[in-house]
Amino acid sequence: MNTTAAKRTHNAETENLDVIIVGAGFAGLYLLDRLRGMGLSVQVFEAGDGPGGVWYWNCYPGARVDSPGPMYQFSRDDLWRDWKFSELYPSWQEIRAYFRYLDEKLDLSRDIRFNTRVNEAQFDSARNLWTVRSSDGSVTRARYFVLCTGLGSKPYIPDLPGLGDFAGERHHTALWPQQGLDLAGKRVGVIGTGASGVQVAQEAAAVAAHLTVFQRTPNLALPMRQRTLDDDTIRRMKEDYPRAYQKRTTTFGGFDYEFLEKSAAEVSDAEREATFERVWEIGGFAPWVGSFNDLLADEVSNRAAYDFWRDKTRARINDPAIAEMLAPAEPLHPYGAKRPSLEQNFFEIFNQRNVSLVDLRKSPIERVTPSGIKTAAGEHDLDILVLATGFDAVTGGLTSIDIRGTQGETLREKWSKGVHTHLGMASAGFPNLLFVYGPHSPNAFANGPTCAELQGDWIVQLLDHLRQRDFTRFEATVPAEEDWRAQVHAIADTTLFPRADSWYFGANIPGKPREMLSFAGGLSTYVAKCNESAERGYEGFAIS
């Protein structure tokens, strides 16, 4: 197989490739570059108008990454040496600029079809090929079909009565107008307090005539500790990049730091408090996955961490009633069992006269009206309605495509009663299909670029293994995916994650089976298990 094998024809004729990749985010671009380097004919199909994956769509006010910039990029030295972010936590504008930089540096766009959404894919068992039909009317065949749709590519819009009646501007944060939207002087309503809700609210509070935040569950948000980076700081940081990039392949979350080697239960009250204080000052996710190693498993330790967070947070809120809504005396779920967001001044905005907080547990939304939102307690007039309502996370990007395997059923149908994968990258009945950052991988608990590189390298090695031996087909076996599913659930059951109704469990989507969708054993453990399969001749796969 080589690039000359790509037969591009015109009109309605079919093009033949070695690999079709869906999605031009970190994973899709990494694999495009690596597989092209092997001499394979590869094309990326991307629904957006430019590279970046979720960062093409993430352009709402305040959108920024929640990983430090040094960690939120590829580890290749020829890529990081010439690149710099101006802030520790880069904005969507800078992330987009980084993707344009990658595009120019690696000449990626020549093999990307932008504004092209994959609608259907069907496996042809006789020829061991995937036939892919896209929104532009094209039909393309490929030996391998690799889905890099990410964990947040299917926005969830709740079925609110009257939503279509609203007369003002209404947008989901993931479907924000590319030209932007001015919030200044407007009455803005934000439904949801996940990451995008927190970020929009911070921006809106500064300029809106009035901001109303509709909250169902408080966000146990952590301090971002944002700062601008001057050239001298960047130079000193870059001296540490080689060590940091090596370190991130060996840690739980794919960052350059790890859980402490001690538990909160084994130290004195004074040491525990001092450690909480130290990681709090570091900020970011350090108080979550850089603190004591038992916080996500031990109830007593977890409660100590929650109490510390609560007291720190309540000290920033003037009104005791608002403080109780944002940082309750008694936690609604374990600390860190829902993904924390990073905030800059989120809790302070509720001290402003132009900001209101509505507790949807006490006063649920009855309907959306042409002029705003009516809750059980009253009406809220709005000019702009922001739906920060999240995603059909982890599986939604995959199941929203009509992907049919050897049994005639779609991936959506197969997973309708529960997800089954092997190594979080393949599923029985769907030969020659792989997915990155998908269900049963460390997706939600791993830094995206780190995961893209490590899973990407494994996929490259698998396809090279097949090519060298003239194999044309691989498929996960049913026993292997049953075993992997059991491992994913067993690991989750040793933690406090099942005690929260989170998108980790699909609990935010009506009718979705409630089950752990992420491998919670850590990225380094996950990679070791994948490599173990490879060393045993790709155990768990039928190869022919």
pLDDT in tens, 468-517: 999 999 999 999 999 999 999 999 999 999 999 999 999 999 999 999 99
Within-domain flag for 160: no
Q: How many domains does the chain divide into?
A: 1
Within-domain flag for 402: yes
Within-domain flag for 23: yes
- Closest by CA to 4, choosing from 36, 34, 41, 43, is 41
Give the number of other CB atoms < 10 A from CB of residue 310. Answer: 20
User: What six digits make up the tokens of 151?
Assistant: 């964990």
Exposure string over 67-85, b if 16+ CB within 10 A, otherwise e: bbbbbbbbbeeeebeebbb
Q: Are 350 and 357 in contact (CB under 8 A)?
A: yes
The residue type of 491 is I
At 252 the pLDDT is: 96
pLDDT above 70: percentage of residues in the chain: 98
At 7 the pLDDT is: 39
Mean pLDDT of 151-160: 97
Mapping DSSP onto H, E and C, the string for 89-153 reads CCEHHHHHHHHHHHHHHHCCHHHEECCCCEEEEEEECCCCEEEEEECCCCEEEEEEEEECCCCCC
DSSP run (H or E) holding 275 = helix 269-282
Within-domain flag for 266: no
Within-domain flag for 231: no
3-state secondary structure at position 18: strand
At 12 the pLDDT is: 53
* Helix, strand, coil percentages in the chain from 3-state DSSP, rounded to 5: 35, 20, 45
Give the number of other CB atoms < 10 A from CB of residue 494. Answer: 12
Question: Domain with 26 in it: what CATH number?
Answer: 3.50.50.60
At 6 the pLDDT is: 41
Residues 6+ apart with CB under 8 A from 528: none
Per-residue pLDDT tens digits for 3-38: 333 434 334 578 999 999 999 999 999 999 999 999
Between strands 378-381 and 42-45, the pairing is: unpaired
At 347 the pLDDT is: 98
| 92-106 helix and 26-37 helix, angle to the nearest 10 degrees | 10
Q: Rounded distance, CA 26 to CA 132, Å?
A: 22
At 10 the pLDDT is: 37
Per-residue pLDDT tens digits for 311-349: 999 999 999 999 999 999 999 999 999 999 999 999 999
At 3 the pLDDT is: 38
User: What six digits make up the tokens of 183?
Assistant: 């919030």
Within-domain flag for 531: yes
Exposure string over 151-186, b if 16+ CB within 10 A, otherwise e: bbbbbbeeebeebeebebbbebbbebeeeeeebeeb
At 14 the pLDDT is: 85
At 13 the pLDDT is: 73
At 496 the pLDDT is: 98
Within-domain flag for 219: no
Residue 422 has pLDDT above 60, yes or no: yes
Residue 2 has pLDDT above 50, yes or no: no
User: Which of left, alpha, beta for 86 (phi over 0: left; psi -120 to 50: alpha)?
Assistant: alpha
Alpha helical stretches, state H, 295-350: 299-314, 320-326
Question: How many CA atoms are closer than 13 Å to the CA of 367, on its beta-carbon side?
Answer: 8
DSSP run (H or E) holding 229 = none
User: What six digits make up the tokens of 124?
Assistant: 């042809």
Q: What is the mean pLDDT of the chain?
A: 96
Dihedral sign (CA 247, 58, 145, 542)? positive
Q: Are 70 and 50 in contact (CB under 8 A)?
A: no
User: Which of left, alpha, beta for 205 (phi over 0: left; psi -120 to 50: alpha)?
Assistant: alpha
Which residue bears the tokens 């093009």? 15
Q: Rounded distance, CA 101 to CA 53, Å?
A: 15
At 105 the pLDDT is: 98
Domain that holds residue 403: 3-51+108-154+393-470+520-536
Within-domain flag for 196: no
- Closest by CA to 46, choosing from 115, 120, 96, is 115
Give the number of other CB atoms < 10 A from CB of residue 330. Answer: 8
Identify each DSSP E strand in 148-216 by its residue range.
Answer: 169-172, 187-191, 210-215
Residue 248 has pLDDT above 70, yes or no: yes
Q: How far is CA 94 from CA 91, 210, 241, in A?
A: 5, 29, 19
Q: How far is CA 446 from CA 105, 212, 476, 495, in A?
A: 26, 33, 23, 17
Report the chain's terminal Cα–Cα distance, integer Å.
17
